[in-house]
């Protein structure tokens, strides 16, 4: 998620969320509240993924998948065949 385009989409999503939140506080509309809650959940989920990536968890998960595929082919951790 750390690409420039993904970051741009995340920032746009946050801006949209804040706009809807302001609209809700002006109107107190139930439909607007539901939309705001949905956007908040989406932003929270994206933020968690971004932080995990920045903390290296995304890289570790990818390495784990790669190691699992290698071990299935008989390649040890170092990436070389025996």
Q: How many CB atoms lie within 10 A of CB 44?
A: 11
Contact 43, 13 (CB under 8 A): yes
pLDDT in tens, 37-64: 999 999 999 999 989 988 987 665 555 5
- Residue ranges per structural domain of the chain: 4-72
Q: Which pLDDT value is given to residue 12? A: 96
Beta-carbon contacts of 74 under 8 Å, excluding residues fewer than 6 positions away, are: 81, 82
Please give the model's pTM, rounded to 2 decimal places.
Answer: 0.64
Q: Which residue, among 63, 33, 58, has the nearest Cα to 46 in the 3D structure?
A: 58
Q: Look at residue 34 in the predicted model and tell me its pLDDT.
A: 98
């Amino acid at each position: 998620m750390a690409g420039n385009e993904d970051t741009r989409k995340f920032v746009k999503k946050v801006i949209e969320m804040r706009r809807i939140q302001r609209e809700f506080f002006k109107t107190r509309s139930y439909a607007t509240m539901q939309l705001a809650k949905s956007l908040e959940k989406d932003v929270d989920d994206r933020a968690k993924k971004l932080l995990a990536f920045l903390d290296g968890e995304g890289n570790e998960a990818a390495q784990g998948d790669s190691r699992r595929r290698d071990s299935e082919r008989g390649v040890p951790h170092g990436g070389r065949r025996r």
